Amino acid sequence: MTVAVVLAFSGAVCGVIGAWEALAAVERTRVVAALARAVAPLVRAGREGVGPTVPERRRLAVLVAAGLAAAGWLAGGAAAGMIAATAGPALAMAAVRARRRRFRAALAEAAPSVARALADALSAGHSVRGAVALVASGVPGPAGHEVGAAARALDLGAPTEAVLERLRRRACARAWDAMVAGILLQRDAGGDLPALLRDLAAGLEAAARQDREALAATAQARFTARLVLGMPFAAAVLAELGSPGFIGRLLANPLSAWLTTLAALLQLVAAIAVRRLSRAVIR
């Protein structure tokens, strides 16, 4: 082992330690607080299902655009950074919408457990308002957040129908529509609400099992379709890495530029078609 190797190793260790200390110092500054405030709308969209306000959208778009610009500049220069930055606002809003979709999907998945918990609370002698408050303390995740908000509204004296209607609109799922409709119909027409909620929970669980079976049956086909769609982009990246400037030379020729653009559009159409077919199979 030569002296140069030892010095290089020591320099690398000192660099790692210095970077660690720099991160620790940055965590105690306002930079982290500003980043957390900018990313807060994205976190809140997945935790509470709330959309960002206009100022929050602007801050999030600027943050994502800056990150894309830096990545594009490191990968392909200033021009690539500027082009990548233009996708910042659209990508930020797409991330927010994806987080809200996951929030609603989690709400729909939790509907059977909430219905069964409400049935147990009602069987124990609680009223609908008391059952909602009791269930709110035992349901985790997005469903716990929404049922907890409903329980707090009921504690403040809000009408039961208005609170349940708000919960139904927030969930935006057929399972919650059926649950709220059953509760309101039982209030007006009477009947065995706990048994109705248990039957509803059983039906929802059966439907969820069918969806999972459909996903499992089509998993290989969906993976193959996505793999085939991603192969041209992976080949372009490998070609650029093997021969820097390949994509630039390709786009400099008008004929090859038109053919590349047409191929990209066809790839986009194929991706949208695969996505729609996957949703149709799941439904």
217 vs 179: which has the higher pLDDT? 179
pLDDT at residue number 126 = 85
Residue-wise pLDDT tens digits, 76-92 = 677 777 877 788 788 88
Q: Which residue has the higher pLDDT, 8 or 253?
A: 253
In angstroms, rounded to a whole number, what is the distance separating the alpha carbons of residues 255 and 36? 47
Spans of all domains in the chain: 8-91, 108-206, 210-282
The whole-number pLDDT of residue 245 equals 79
The pLDDT of residue 282 is above 60: no
Residue 92: what pLDDT?
A: 83
Q: If pLDDT is split at 50, 70 and 90, which confidence band does 5 have?
A: low
pLDDT, tens only, 137-193: 888 888 888 888 888 988 888 888 888 888 888 888 888 888 888 888 887 777 788
Coarse DSSP helix, strand, coil percentages of the chain, rounded to the nearest 5 percent: 90, 0, 10
pLDDT tens, position by position, 232-241 = 888 888 887 8
State whether the Cα torsion 119-123-124-129 is positive or negative: positive
- Asked if the model's pLDDT at residue 22 lies above 70, the reply is no
Q: Write down the pTM of the prediction.
A: 0.67
Mind listing the pLDDT tens digit for each residue in 46-72?
777 777 888 888 888 888 888 878 877
Q: How many CA atoms lie within 13 A of 57 on its CB side?
A: 12
Cβ(154)–Cβ(163) under 8 Å?
yes
Pair of tokens at residue 120: 């147990």
Structure tokens at 249: 């030379």
CA separation for the pair 258, 269 (Å, rounded)? 17
Instruction: Give the whole-angstrom CA distance, residue 82 versus residue 68.
Output: 9
DSSP structural state of residue 152: H
Q: What are phi and psi of 172, to 5 degrees?
A: 55, 50
Please compute, for residue 148, the number of CA atoms within 13 A of its CA located in the half-sphere on the CB side.
10
Distance CA(61)–CA(242), nearest Å, equals: 33
On whether the CB atoms of residues 60 and 52 are closer than 8 A, the answer is yes
Tell me: pLDDT of 43 over 70. Answer: yes
